[in-house]
């Protein structure tokens, strides 16, 4: 029962571990995050599997929001192994270098977690990264193809994204699992970057919607204290956000499907 309770805590909103007296990110960290993002983006276009493998964490979870005629919006998954192999097979090498339009943005960075984006002519990606063994690598990617209406409703979507994250905390306070179920995608990755007590090394702890809902029903999921929601960026049907509390920080990816924004990725620290 003790280990089960720990698992529930890992998926709760407020399970955020903060290193004491951390010096914070350096310019080298910022440069390394940028390099990891370009190894991911440029590596794919160049068919450079070694760059892609260097950029992504073995536990990478990547999903694309894809709309199919007659089917609607789908969340298409890919893992690290498949992504590296797709890159090895040629990736986006057919795209001329002068037409790739690769641009990077660092959305937020803390001690050893970061949120970023890399947009190109073929795909627009929001990224979550962690620093392990001195290396920055991608653990979450949420992407969609470029859209002619990508920023058309940005302000309304920003407000909707902020409301989802405010509702998230209110839902935990209320112990309303049915409401939480509507806010979180069935395939959501709700992960925590935390230290192993014996050695102090940080690692990614897995969590999902089922665990979250179980925690809410058992009243073991705890709400955050005074959360501050910041919507970092919105593009069409994908969004990136930040929640800070007195306990720590969490990064969020949300997807809009059938007119509803829902949580797809969360990385807490």
> Do 107 and 172 share a domain, yes or no?
no
> Do 173 and 219 share a domain, yes or no?
yes
Compute the distance between CA of residue 78 and CA of residue 74 in angstroms, rounded to an integer: 13
CATH of the domain at 259: 3.10.450.50
- Residue 168: domain span: 149-268
Q: Which of 94, 128, 144 is the last residue of a domain?
A: 144
Q: Which of 125, 144, 163 is the last residue of a domain?
A: 144
Residue 2 is assigned to a structural domain of this protein: no
- Is pLDDT above 60 for 225? yes
Residue 236 is assigned to a structural domain of this protein: yes
- Is pLDDT above 50 for 85? yes
Residue 209 is assigned to a structural domain of this protein: yes
DSSP string, 189-200: EEEEEEE-TTT-
pTM for this one? 0.89
Token pair of 126 as six digits? 């929001």
Residue 92 has a CB neighbour count (10 Å cut-off) of 19
> Do 33 and 129 share a domain, yes or no?
yes
- Is pLDDT above 50 for 135? yes
pLDDT, tens digit, 9 for 90 and up, residues 139-154: 999 999 999 888 878 8
> Do 175 and 134 share a domain, yes or no?
no
Relative to beta strand 56-68, strand 135-144 is: parallel
Question: pLDDT at position 231, please?
Answer: 98
Q: Which of 115, 144, 173 is the last residue of a domain?
A: 144
pLDDT, tens digit, 9 for 90 and up, residues 188-199: 999 999 887 776
């Amino acid at each position: 029962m003790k280990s089960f309770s720990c698992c529930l805590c890992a998926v709760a909103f407020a399970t955020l571990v903060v290193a004491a007296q951390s010096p914070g990110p350096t310019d080298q960290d910022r440069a390394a995050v940028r390099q990891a993002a370009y190894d991911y983006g440029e590596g794919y276009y160049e068919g450079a599997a070694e760059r892609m493998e260097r950029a992504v964490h073995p536990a990478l979870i990547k999903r694309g929001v894809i709309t199919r005629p007659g089917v609607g919006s789908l969340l298409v998954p890919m893992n690290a192994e498949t992504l590296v192999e797709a890159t090895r097979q040629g990736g986006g090498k057919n795209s001329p270098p002068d037409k790739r339009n690769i641009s990077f943005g660092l959305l937020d960075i803390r001690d050893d977690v970061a949120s970023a984006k890399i947009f190109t002519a073929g795909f627009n990606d929001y990224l979550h990264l962690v620093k392990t063994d001195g290396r920055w690598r991608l653990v979450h990617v949420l992407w969609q193809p470029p859209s002619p209406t990508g920023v058309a409703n940005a302000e309304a979507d920003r407000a909707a994204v902020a409301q989802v994250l405010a509702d998230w905390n209110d839902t935990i306070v209320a112990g309303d699992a049915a409401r939480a179920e509507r806010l979180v995608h069935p395939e959501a990755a709700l992960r925590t970057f935390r230290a192993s007590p014996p050695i102090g090394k940080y690692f990614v702890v897995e969590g999902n919607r089922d665990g979250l809902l179980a925690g809410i029903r058992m009243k073991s999921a705890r709400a955050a204290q005074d959360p501050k929601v910041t919507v970092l960026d919105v593009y069409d049907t994908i969004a990136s956000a930040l929640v800070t509390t007195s306990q720590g920080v969490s990064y969020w990816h949300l997807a809009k499907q059938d007119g509803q924004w829902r949580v797809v990725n969360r990385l807490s620290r």
